[in-house]
Amino acid sequence: MTSELADLYPSHLRTVMQRADAALLAGGYDHLVIGSGRAVYRFLDDMPSPYFVSPQFKAWLPLLRHPDCWIIHTPGSKPILAYYQPDDYWHETPAAPAGYWVEHFDIRVISEPAQAVKLLPATGRCAVIAEASAALDGLVPNNPEAVLNALHFARSAKTGYELANMRLASRRATRAHVAAAAAFRAGASELDIHRAYCAAAGHVENELPYGNIVALNEHAAILHYQYQRDDKPDAHRSFLIDAGAQVNGYAADITRTYCNDNEEFQSLIDAMEADQLQLCAQVRAGKPYPEIHLDTHARIATILRNHDIVRMEPASLVETGVTSTFMPHGVGHPIGLQVHDVAGFMESAAGGFIARPAGHPYLRMTRTLEPDFVVTIEPGLYFIDSLLATLRSGPHAGSVNWEKIERLRPYGGIRIEDNVRATTGDPENLTRDAFALT
């Protein structure tokens, strides 16, 4: 695949540069300067926090472990890369630049971060995209809103190079998901399942695109469960894993749910699986993303009724907001250089905000899909104590089969998530394709 990435990269970089030119024009700037980010230290400590590269920087080239680097772009000129290569005997220093991207940059090696200032253009206004901590004397981030808006909006449509990286990330993640499922079946703890996942993905923890959700039993009802316990539960009833991987800074974000020897809960998983595939089939250019979210609630309502969890008509379940007790989150989000990628609510490259549907405050995208947008589709159905308590005290408590809910609560919940590319025809399901090859 390296040869494919090498073939696709020149066109990708031309697109990135064209987008940069348009963003500069929109903001009234002459040059674009993007920092890779700075390594920072923990408060009152001499230990560094994990370093993560700026998403705007890695849009240009696949350097993920290189703080204090800068890209300097002037329309019509070859972009300059200030490549920080310190003389450091405490840590392994970056090797000389190498790879399919090198020939496309005017690379200037610097041994001190401040030397980047000398590479700035002598005239013209610079839009400097970086965090405040990256500031140098003479190089201060200003992060102009008009420039960022244009850059973020353009990133929604993925280039061929980006899609190739996301397919590779999906392959890496699905291999790891298979390993995690096997560890669950073998009775491993959450921590050991997490370790099996990381080993199969070939990632250390800080290389994951987000913290893995590795949830056994009731923990599956915690949407962003953040721990991996090292003790084994008395029984491995159910397992929800929301875990990703990355290649060259591009993310995969995949969720699967499993259970052991319970037909009642497995039938819910099967129903969710069937509906999730129907939702994925709607990821097409011209489809407003909120419509997929609203259809998700209609489908959840039907599952709740058909499985005798709530004895109300599906339309009433949606209208009264009862479905939000069981699925309180949005159906998904944009994905790419960031797991929750940018511009999900933007009206245009100039900015603006497309509001969420009333009653759905946690939906992460409201735009209409366009070709080569990649989004997640992740419907869920959970038994969350605090939300169930509110339902129990409300006007619809008498329609709820509380006996069945008590049987299902120990299983936590269900979420199934794929990464899907919109096209003008059939969607490309990166996740299902990757599982088919694993």
The segment(s) of the chain belonging to CATH 3.40.350.10 are 2-154
CA pair distance 428, 426, nearest whole angstrom: 7
Low-confidence ranges of the chain (pLDDT < 50): none
Sign of dihedral through CA atoms 153, 157, 159, 164?
A: positive
Q: What is the pLDDT at residue 1?
A: 66
What phi and psi values does residue 359 have, to the nearest 5 degrees?
Answer: 85, 5
What phi and psi values does residue 33 have, to the nearest 5 degrees?
Answer: -125, 125
pLDDT in tens, 278-302: 999 999 999 999 999 999 999 999 9
The segment(s) of the chain belonging to CATH 3.90.230.10 are 160-437
CA pair distance 391, 320, nearest whole angstrom: 11
**CB–CB of 150/27 below 8 Å?**
yes
Give 230: exposed, middle or buried? Use CB within 10 Å, 0-12, 13-18, 19+.
Answer: exposed
Partnered with residue 239 across adjacent β-strands are 216, 258
Q: What is the pLDDT at residue 2?
A: 83
CA angle 68, 206, 180 (to 5 degrees): 155
Which has the closest alpha carbon to 340: 152, 198, 179?
152
Q: What is the pLDDT at residue 248?
A: 98
Please give the CATH number for the structural domain made up of 160-437: 3.90.230.10
Which has the closest alpha carbon to 424: 323, 274, 285, 292?
285
pLDDT in tens, 71-114: 999 999 999 999 999 998 899 899 999 999 999 999 999 999 99
Partnered with residue 377 across adjacent β-strands are 418
* CATH 3.10.180.10, applies to 2-154: no
Task: Tokens 């998904």: give the residue.
Answer: 332
